[in-house]
Amino acid sequence: MVWSVKYLKGISGRKLFECFPEIRNQLWKGELWNHSYYVETVGSVSEENIRRYIEHQSKAY
């Protein structure tokens, strides 16, 4: 799972920068994606779990 997420983020980031190179200047340190990700099975995750995860993202860096 880890490699497929990294692969997806890498490819999508490169494609976005190819199409919209100006967005790199608007991003923090020129990076599109955070290094972490969240995976949970469909149907078992609550909105509160997702909200808590997102809120704690900025505290990790």
Q: Does 61 qualify as catalytic in the annotation?
A: no
**3-state helix/strand/coil string of 1-61:** CHHHHHHHHHHHHHHHHHHCHHHHHHCHHHCCCCCCCCCCCCCCCCHHHHHHHHHHHHHHC
Question: Of 7, 38, 53, 61, which is the active-site residue?
Answer: 53
* Residues annotated catalytic, as ranges: 53
